[in-house]
Structure formats: C-alpha cells, structure tokens
C-alpha cells in the first residue's frame, strides 16, 4: 500500500472494521512509513484523551445523581446565579467601556477646532441671536460642558441693563445632540413680558392720519407715565425715530442726554412693512433685528470703544454678527421661534452690506426724569416704556453676586 491507499482505509482501520487482508497491508505500511506511524500515534493519543474525558463526565454525572435532590437543586441555583453574575459583570464592564469611548469621542466631536468647535459655535449662535433679536437682553456668564453619547449642555444667565444695574432676569439652558439644539428659558418671574416696541418710520409715514394720531396718543401716554414716576427711579425706553439714522447721527440726536443707549433697532430690509404676522409693531416676538452694546466685544477683537462714538466699530460688529448667523442659519432658525422664514438671514446680510447699517430706534435707560426730557425731541415719533426700578444711577466701587 501507498500513503494514499492508507488514507482511503484509515477510518475503517481505526474502527476495526476493515478486512484481515487490508489490516495486514496497513500494518506492513505503518511499519515502513514514519509519517503514517506518527499520525497513528496522534490519533491514538487523542482517542485516549477523549475516552478519559467521557469517563470523567460519566463519573461526575453519577456523583451528582447520587447527591440528595435538595443539594442538587442548591448546586443548580448556585450555578445559575454564578452565570447571572458573570453576565452582569460583563455587561457592566461593556457599559463602562462604551461610556468611556463615547465620552472621548463626544469631547473630540464638540471640541475639535477649539473656539471654532461645534459646541462653542452653537453657544455663540445662541448669544449672538439673543442680543440681536431681543431689545436690551443679552446673555452672560456662560457654562459649557460635554457629556456622554454625543450630548452637550450650555448654561447662560439672561441679563438686561436697567439704569446702571445689570440684572439677571432668567437662565437659559441649552442641550445639544449632534447638530440638534433645544433651548429652555427659565425666567425669574415665570415669564418675560415684552414691553419694548418699535415702529418703522416708513411704515408710519404710509398710514392714515387717524392711525398716526393713535401712535401719537400712545407716545403721549408714555410721557405721562414718566411724568408720574418719582424722582428716585430709573426706567428703560424704546424710542422710534422719524427716519433712518447712522450711529453717529443718533449720538447727535441724543446729545447732552444723561442716558445710556443699550440697544439699536437696525433696518434689514423687511421692517418697513411691519412684522411678519401683519402687526405694525416690531419687538422680541415679531422678528426684530438689532444690536446690543455688549456685542461689540463678543463679535470683534476691539479692546475698547467710546461710549458715544466709534460708529464704524459698531457697524462692523453688527455686520459680523449677521454674517455669522447667516453662515449658521439652520442652527439659528431652530433657536429663534419668531424669525420670519420668508426672508433668509443671508438676504438681510446682503441688504445691510449694500445699504449700510441704519437704525430707526434705540433702547435707552436712565433716570426717569431724564428720559422725560426726550419728549422735546422732535425726531422721536413713538416710544414705549419697559421696566422701572429704584434709583441706581451711580457706579458702585465694589459689589458682587452670590448664586448658591
């Protein structure tokens, strides 16, 4: 026999089922072939090992069967709990491992790019959009941190200036999952009453005398309210001008007035037709666009800015902010509930680039009796009053806030 002949009869030889003649020929070949002889030794060792295992298994079953039934059940329960604990520890380890990996990937996802990372970019959208669409409202003292599973949280205080006091009026909490942003505002009084309204001068000029008389009546009521307020109070006022003005021209209109200009209503091409819901009034709930004084340093690299001057710097800050929101328009739209979707932010930006930064009104704050002097200004055609507070028209040399 040759090796290939042995291969064909190998199983029969091992099982003892081959003929005597074949068995004799196989023995003769194995005596002369070291390779096949080595294979036979390997097969015999494996069979012996398997036989021992089977024997031990039978002996183990016999021993278990000999145990009392209660002990068998106890051993079975112990084995089940051991298996459960093993599975639990395995799942726990996998959970810790997956959480660690997701935390690392989340930090990389949101943090990649540093200041231009997704998380910082989303927070800048929220801050910029807030101060550009809510008169005399801005966000301060921000906190931002990433979590697990591609989520991140932002926490910002909502503030406004009333007199010389910068007061916190609520808290904004933002949650991100990948590129999705949800925001919740927790106002200190449970709600935010919108009291500052503007009219566009072009819109007013197209109204009937009767309607213009109604606007003038509202203006006089505002002056009457200011006149009733005591000397020791400060207020905020939204005033509408009779035309579009540049920043430097606004400073000339309010020259020698001891008030702070905190917010500018900017013409972006749609305001002359009133708000998107058909109302003539422009406010934080009707698609208004403007510029907060604090945005200068958030949106530019300027180290300082004069109180009533540097109009070009303010213009640059506004266009920079509008361009930034246009570049992140989808995220901005998800954040702004009252934005007019019929006109894109990019269209507004291109309008401002072409026609310049012009304001039709401002929010001013200061002593109530000082604000009352504005009734002598013929360039003011409409005004609404916001909050009133006790006198704080001075600068404290020291102060602070305790949050918890």
- Please give the DSSP secondary-structure letter assigned to residue 308: T
- What's the confidence (pLDDT) of residue 57? 66
- What's the confidence (pLDDT) of residue 108? 72
Residue ranges per structural domain of the chain? 3-66, 115-187, 201-390
Distance CA 315, CA 138 (A): 18
By CB neighbour count within 10 A (0-12 exposed, 13-18 middle, 19+ buried), where does 402 fall? exposed
Question: Strand pairing partners for 183?
Answer: 174
Distance CA 102, CA 147 (A): 9
Residues 6+ apart with CB under 8 A from 363: 135, 136, 196, 236, 237, 238, 239, 261, 262, 263, 386
CA dihedral 127, 129, 133, 136 (to 10 degrees): 10
CA 341 to chain CA mean position, Å:
21
161: phi then psi, degrees, rounded to nearest 5: -105, 130
Measured in Å, how far apart are the chain's first and last C-alpha atoms?
Answer: 95
- What's the confidence (pLDDT) of residue 25? 84
- What's the confidence (pLDDT) of residue 343? 86
- What's the confidence (pLDDT) of residue 180? 78
Distance CA 145, CA 194 (A): 31
Distances (CA, A) of 54 to 16, 45, 47, 65: 21, 14, 10, 16
In tens digits, the chain (404 residues) has pLDDT values of 788 887 888 788 777 788 888 888 887 887 888 888 887 778 777 777 777 776 666 655 555 555 566 555 566 666 677 777 787 888 888 878 877 787 777 777 667 556 666 777 888 888 999 999 999 999 887 677 777 777 788 888 999 999 999 899 999 888 878 877 888 889 988 889 999 999 999 999 998 989 989 999 999 999 999 999 999 999 999 999 999 999 999 999 998 899 999 999 999 998 988 887 778 999 998 889 999 988 888 777 777 888 778 888 999 999 999 999 999 888 888 888 777 778 899 999 999 999 999 999 999 999 999 999 999 999 999 999 999 999 888 876 666 666 66
């Amino acid at each position: 026999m040759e090796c290939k002949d042995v291969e064909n009869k190998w199983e029969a030889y091992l099982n003892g089922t081959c003929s005597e003649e074949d068995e004799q020929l196989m023995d003769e070949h194995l005596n002369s072939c070291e390779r096949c002889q080595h294979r036979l030794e390997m097969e015999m060792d494996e069979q012996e090992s398997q036989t021992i295992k089977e024997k031990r298994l039978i002996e183990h079953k016999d021993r278990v069967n000999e145990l009392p039934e209660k002990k068998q059940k106890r051993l079975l329960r112990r084995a089940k709990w051991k298996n459960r604990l093993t599975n639990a520890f395995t799942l726990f380890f996998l959970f810790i491992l997956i959480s660690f990996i997701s935390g690392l990937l989340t930090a990389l996802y949101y943090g990649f790019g540093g200041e231009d990372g997704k998380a910082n970019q989303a927070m800048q959208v929220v801050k910029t959009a807030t101060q550009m669409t809510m008169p005399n409202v801005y966000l301060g003292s921000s906190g931002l941190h990433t979590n697990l599973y591609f989520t991140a949280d932002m926490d910002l205080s909502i503030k406004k200036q009333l007199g010389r006091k910068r007061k916190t009026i609520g808290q904004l909490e933002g949650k991100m999952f990948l590129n999705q942003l949800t925001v919740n505002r927790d106002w200190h009084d449970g709600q935010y009453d919108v009291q500052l309204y503007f009219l566009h001068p072009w819109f007013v000029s197209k109204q009937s005398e009767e309607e213009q008389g109604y606007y003038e009546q509202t203006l006089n009521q505002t002056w009457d309210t200011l006149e009733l307020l005591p000397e020791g109070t400060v207020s905020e006022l939204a005033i509408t001008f009779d035309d579009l003005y540049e920043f430097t021209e606004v400073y000339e209109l309010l020259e020698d007035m001891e008030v702070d200009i905190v917010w500018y209503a900017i013409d972006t091409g749609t305001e002359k037709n009133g708000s998107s819901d058909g109302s003539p009034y422009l406010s934080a709930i009707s698609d208004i666009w403007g510029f907060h004084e604090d945005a200068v340093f958030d949106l530019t690299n300027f180290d300082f800015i004069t109180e009533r001057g540097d109009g070009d710097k303010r213009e640059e800050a506004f266009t920079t902010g509008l361009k930034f929101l246009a570049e992140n328009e989808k995220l901005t739209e998800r954040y702004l509930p009252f934005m007019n979707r019929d006109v894109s932010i990019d269209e507004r930006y291109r309008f401002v680039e072409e026609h310049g930064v012009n304001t039709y009104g401002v929010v001013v704050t200061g002593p109530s009796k000082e604000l009352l002097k504005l009734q002598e200004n013929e360039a003011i055609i409409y005004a609404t009053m916001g909050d009133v507070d006790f006198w704080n028209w001075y600068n404290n040399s020291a102060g602070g806030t305790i949050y918890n």
